[in-house]
Each structure stands twice: as structure tokens, then as C-alpha cells.
Structure 1
């Protein structure tokens, strides 16, 4: 009897010793990660009624993990209740582990991106992507879009993503002044829209943003709705002329294998070796378990940090320029809006506003002679100067315009004060007391059959004092009657301008 009792005590002490050892290990090592917890539980099969896989130990281990609180330097050991897992626990755990592994595999995404196209190389790139059942993202140059519109159309039709990569890739023009960068982005966006029906919000800066973008570049691009993307892996295909395909593949394989890998390649002129390297690059990422995705405006932005030094000597653009140029723009999506079909026997409905259309803005200018309200198509900005149609401005100020055939000038009269514009050259002139004309130091522009003048300067020469201005967003759902009325008025003014142009 005593021997039996002694054996039971020995077993109990052994069990308590093992528990103490486990507790001590947990206190010394600290908190375990999820992966460590699975591995740790796999070694505890002596506590289980039947062996199971390491992955299925997690629920059991979590259910029986004790929490320890140190009091006065000593470990406080709470009561431990051991329980055996059930078949239901095993099934649930196995399913959870399987789902976890599946999600982990699917979360590895690679984005193949191609800059500087479209070119003669692009169709071959598209052939390879189609054969491999892979989608890519193409960052296009505006001048190349003009040259290869059919290739751009094919890129869009085959389901690849499209981004803006400036118009001509000229670094000095792009980065010496934000206005140069903005002009190229807008010009390229328009060129793309003319081919596929929408302007893409994705943008990649030539050379990347590091040392090229400052905070204002990032802020203003985001303010207008553009999404700027860099990369995580450089294929090295543009580090010099004629980089061989073998070297391009090697550089890609040296790149970091992150959960979201963005690979920089080029399909522009002179990049035939990139085309040769592409199949091997695709095979490499497939072997690594990556899925191939296209970049979207909604995904997390891949951007380099802002450099702590400046490469370019440039000044920030003014708030007036920002309000006139950035705020009216809002590139929202990367796909065209489908047009509704007219009902049987009915009239064709007006197409909805494209999501990528710029916001309509109204400019209200306050002067000492009253207010000038200008619709979105009645003012434009160029190099920090706001222009308006001269006839429209003069009429809103209650003035008149006549044509002096002898002198070949338009005479503009506001409040009894006259100034003139030379009809042939467009030069603005001050009418002196003795009847002579002095050329003024600013320019007019002829756009859309209308003669445009800089607003502030035209007000000044008309002896009208500029007081303030306000930009307002126009409700796109406003009744179309007013819009149609404005359009008719503009058509009438344009026709009158044509007649004036023809008279001399």
C-alpha cells in the first residue's frame, strides 16, 4: 500500500516538475509569436490522447496557455486545467490552418510594369503576356501614344493597366519647375483619353520620385487625384544602352521578394533585350508562388521617401496658380463610364459625366465697377496668368468694341477710356492723348476662335480696379437649360469673332 502511494507521489512530482519546467521556459523566453507557438505545441504530444499534426495543435495550446504575473520577484502560478482535444477541434484547426496557408500564398503579388512605351517592342511584350496569361501595367509617354495609338488601344483591350509617364521624359523640363511637370502630365492624359476614352490616374515619374519630387510635387499630384507609383525591384534594363537579357534576369532575381513586388522594366525603343528577358522573369515569379496583378489607384502607394537634399533649383508654385490649375482637376478612376442605351422609340439620353472629367469651376471676380461671373469655359490659366475672352470681359464691364479699319485695330471702350489690340499681331496697345498707340508689355492669345486677354492687365488698362476673386465648384446636376443657354451665347460670340477676323 505504501509502495503504491509512493509511486503515485513520484508520478505527481514528475508531472509537477515538467509543468514547472514548462512554466520556467515560458517566463524566461517571454511571449511567443504565432509561428513559435505552433512549433512549441508540436512538442507536447504527451499531453494528448492521440497524435495530431503541428498545425492542429494551435487551438489546444491556446486553450491551455497559462498567464503569469510576477509578484515581488516571484512567479504567481495560477491553476492549470488540462483538457483533451476533440475530433471537432481537430477538424476546425486543420481547416483554419489550410485557409491560413492558402491566404499566405495568394498574398504574394507581383506587378510587372513597363515604362516609356508604346513602341515597336510593345506588341511583342503583349504577345508574351497573353501567352503566359499574365497582366501588366504600362506607364506611357504622350509622344509615343501619338505615334502608336493602335498599340495603346490593344493594351487597354487586353485588360492591362495604364499609367501616365509624362510627355517626353525631359528631366530638366519636368523637374526644374512643377508647372513643366504638370503641363506634361495633363498633355499625356489628354492624349491617352483621346484613344481609350479616359485619363488614367496612375502616374510614374521619369527616373522615380527620389531626388526629383519634393513635398509640393507629391501634395499637388494627390490634390488633383493622381496616384504616383515608384517600384521595389529595378530590372536594370536602363542602366546603360543594350543591357543583355541575361543580366536583366539576374538583376530581377537579386531584387527583394516582398509581399507586393513592383518590377520596373521598359518597353520603349532600344529595349529589345527586355523583351527577351521577360519569359524567364515570369517563370521566376511563378516558381516563387506569386500571382500577377495590375496596379490600381486603390492599392497602397509604392513611393520612395523624400530626399533630404535637392537635386533641382526650383521655387514652389503660387497659391493662385494652384487654385486656377490644380483645383479644377480631379482624376478619379481608371476606366471609362459605359453610355446608357436609349429606350425604344425614345431620344438618346445625354451621356453621364465621366468620373475622370475635371470639376467644373466658376470664377467670380470683384472689381470697383461690379462683379464678373465667368463660367468654366470662360477663363483659363497659363503660366500663372488668368485669361478671358476680350469681348466677354468688355461686355460684362458695360463697354463696347469697334473695329478701326484705317488703323487695323480693335478699339475697346470702358467707361469712356479706350485701348486697342492690333488685329494682325494681337499686340495690346495703350491709346495716348495725342492719338498715338503704345505697345503694352503683355500678350493676347487666339484660342478656339476667341481672342483671349490676361484678366488683371486688361482690367488695369481699362482703369478698372481688381479687388478680389473667388473660385466656386459648379453643381454638375444643375438644370441643363442654363448650360445650353451659355453654350448658345458662346457660339454666338465665336461666330461674331470669326466675322471680325474676316472683316479686315
Structure 2
């Protein structure tokens, strides 16, 4: 009897894996929706849309200042992050202090001009070596692991997407691959509402997004008066689905699958 149960269990597991593989194989037009943190004011509404539309995304998190006080990775937001992990979303570092690369410094060892926009030293410029930069990436990843209960992907996104070859190599040396976004994947939620209405941004995205694109939005932008999400988010998801697109996380992205497998 035990051997028969084991055989049945193996059969069910095989069927489940085959089903998952089949589902992925039928996804001929994938897109990869990603969210960076921000003031988090719209985070609950974003989560509602993703759950309603049954879409999984990848969140890049930094400890950014929030509308409610504190930061986006503090204990107040821990239940929100844990709920997203339970829904099957993925997570990765956005550097803990939302630290912008401002330039490389000359020398044998890599050193960088860095300007954090979050944390106690926000707005000041520093010189960091590769170890310090890696520590800031890892600090966000470690905090994500704590608040989600799930190991983040070995990926990171530099704030503003600003990098250099030396910075990218330094990050790779400590186990992190950088993720940018496609030109059409810049969804425009950082742009001024007066010039770029939600309607205009939605139509532009629907017209220009192509299979394989990595899409970028945020969980709250201080400067935009007419928030892009969730007003545009759900129509965009519905519109892309109607055009035959499907949504996957970066764990499934062909450019990162091998790296993730080797560094997880």
C-alpha cells in the first residue's frame, strides 16, 4: 500500500508539473510587470487590482519615506508584504537607501559617487566602494526576506536605472544581476499629470508594448497629482490580456532564469 501511495503521489506531482509547463508554454506573448516602491499610498489599491486580475509581478523595494510616516519596509508595512508573498509575487532589492549612482571615481578599485534619497542621509552625496554598494543592495534584500518570509530574487534595480559598467560588475561580483525596463515599458507614472494624462499614458502603453517587455511602475509617486495607479493599471492589464499578452514574474524571464537558478 505505501508503494502504491508513493506511485500515486509521483503521478499527481508529474501531472501538476506538466500542467505548469503547459501553461508556460502557451504564454507566447509574455510581459513582466514590475513595481518599485514609493510613498506606498496606492499600494493597497494596486494589490487589489493584481489580485482581481490574477496577475503576478516583481516588486523592487527600498526603505523609502511613506505617506503614513516611517518607510516602505518598516513593521507597519510588513503584513502588506507578507500578503503579497502569499499570493505568489516575487521580490528584489532597489537598494535600501534608494541610493542613486552619480558617477565613477578614478582608481584601481571601483568607487562610486552615490546620493541616497531615503534614510538618515538622504540628499547627501557620498563615496562608496563596491563593498558598501553591495551591502546596501543586500540590506534591502535581507529586509524583504524578513517582512515577506520569502527569499528575494538575486536581482536588483538601481534607482532611476542609473548605472555604469563598473557598478554593474561590482553588483554581479556580490551576486546581483541588474534589471532595467523596456523603452515601451516605462509606463509614465513619474511624469507630470499636466502634460501626460492617464488616458494618454494608457493608450501609449497599449500601442507600444511588445512581447518580452519589462514594465515599470511605482507604489506611489510624490510629484504626480493624478496618480497613474490604480486608475490606469487595471485598464492596462485588461487591454494587454485582450491583445493576447500574459503576465509573468522575472523568475520566468529568459534573460534571468539561469542567473536566478545559479544564485538562489
Task: Place the TM-score, normalised by the shorter chain, in its bin.
Answer: 0.5 to 0.7
Equivalences for residues 391-406 of structure 1 within 5 A: none
Q: Is the 8 A contact 2:33 2:216 kept in 1?
A: yes
Equivalences for residues 138-149 of structure 1 within 5 A: 138-142=59-63, 143-146=71-74, 147-149=76-78
Q: Please, what TM-score do these two structures have when normalized by structure 1?
A: 0.36
Gaps of 5+ in 2: 1-22, 64-70, 101-113, 117-125
Q: Is the 8 A contact 2:42 2:229 kept in 1?
A: no
- 2:138 alignment partner, SS class: helix
Distance 1:234 1:282 in 2: 15
Instruction: State the partner residue of 2:32.
Output: 111
Instruction: State the partner residue of 2:247.
Output: 292
Equivalences for residues 115-194 of structure 1 within 5 A: 115-117=36-38, 119-142=40-63, 143-146=71-74, 147-171=76-100, 172-173=114-115, 177-179=128-130, 180-194=132-146
Instruction: State the partner residue of 1:213.
Output: 163
Q: Is the 8 A contact 1:118 1:152 kept in 2?
A: no
Higher relative contact order by CA 8 Å / sep ≥ 6: 1 or 2? 2
Return the match for 1:248 from 192, 201, 204: 201
Distance 1:103 1:266, change over 3 A: closer
Distance 2:24 2:197 in 1: 37
Are 2:238 and 1:283 aligned?
yes
RMSD between aligned residues:
2.9
Distance 1:205 1:297, change over 3 A: farther
Distance 1:131 1:297, change over 3 A: closer
Q: Is the 8 A contact 1:228 1:301 kept in 2?
A: no
- 1:275 alignment partner, SS class: coil
Distance 1:283 1:298, change over 3 A: closer
Instruction: State the partner residue of 1:79.
Output: none
How many aligned residue pairs are there? 200
* Alpha-carbon distance, 1:223 to partner: 2.1
Distance 1:297 1:191, change over 3 A: farther
Gaps of 5+ in 1: 1-101, 303-330, 334-504
Distance 1:199 1:256 in 2: 27
Distance 2:134 2:192 in 1: 28
Distance 2:26 2:252 in 1: 23
Instruction: State the partner residue of 1:356.
Output: none
Query: After superposition, what is the alpha-carbon deviation per residue over 1:422-480, rounded to whole angstroms, capped at 9, x for unaligned?
Result: xxxxxxxxxxxxxxxxxxxxxxxxxxxxxxxxxxxxxxxxxxxxxxxxxxxxxxxxxxx
Structure 1 runs of 4+ with >6 Å offset: 102-105
Distance 2:246 2:201 in 1: 21
- Larger Rg belongs to: 1
Q: Is the 8 A contact 1:125 1:267 kept in 2?
A: yes
Q: Please, what TM-score do these two structures have when normalized by structure 2?
A: 0.66
Distance 1:134 1:234 in 2: 19
